[in-house]
Amino acid sequence: MVLFRIFFTLFPLLLLGGIRVPVQVSATFVQKVTTPKKKVVRYTGELLLNRSREFRWRYKTPTKREICGDGDRVRVIDHRLQQVVVYKVGSLLDLMQLLKRAKQYRGDLYLARYHGTRYTLKVDSRGQLEQIAYTDDMDNIVNIHFHNVRYGNTPFPAKQLQCHVPKSYDIIKG
């Protein structure tokens, strides 16, 4: 039984070069954005993500913001501005695709290219995502550190990944 468990834990690592690509992920995160002028902004929040491209990023500090996607559309809810911006998915970062594309660089570090951007990923001893770093299109250095990462074998229900939009908020279609 123990060998059976070890095999099914390590099998995805063998197929995907070390980064486990789960059915679903939940985590808390700290996102640090450093501008070209060295100003640093720290965000904290939580993430729920399904392999099927459904997700919810819930930012808690410094402002409340939710970003939810169903695979086709993304809703960005800014509670401070009381508005929702709806986009087609387009070139938005698909975290699961990033994990699939990552190639081992050195030890626990992996590199991936996605829509012209180079990402550096770090995994923990179990092959689970721990950190992502990249430079965005405004030359900001972005570092997202994941904590309390949990991988699961069944997707989150779609309802759990939906954002609640208050009726009084303005809706902008992008």
- What would the pLDDT profile of 39-70 be if each residue is shown by its tens digit? 999 999 999 988 878 899 999 999 999 999 88
Give the number of domains in the chain. 1
Distance CA 12, CA 22 (A): 9
pLDDT, residue 109, reads 95
Residue found under tokens 């070390």: 18
| pLDDT digits 0-9 by tens, 67-126 | 998 878 889 999 999 999 998 876 566 777 788 889 999 999 999 998 889 999 999 888
Question: What CATH number should be reported for the domain holding residue 130?
Answer: 2.50.20.10
Range of 77's domain?
2-173
- Nearest in space to 56 (alpha carbons), one of 144, 146, 161, 166: 161
Pair 24, 154: CB distance under 8 Å: yes
| pLDDT digits 0-9 by tens, 1-19 | 332 233 333 333 333 455 7
pLDDT, residue 5, reads 31
User: Which residues are registered as beta bridge partners of 112?
Assistant: 119
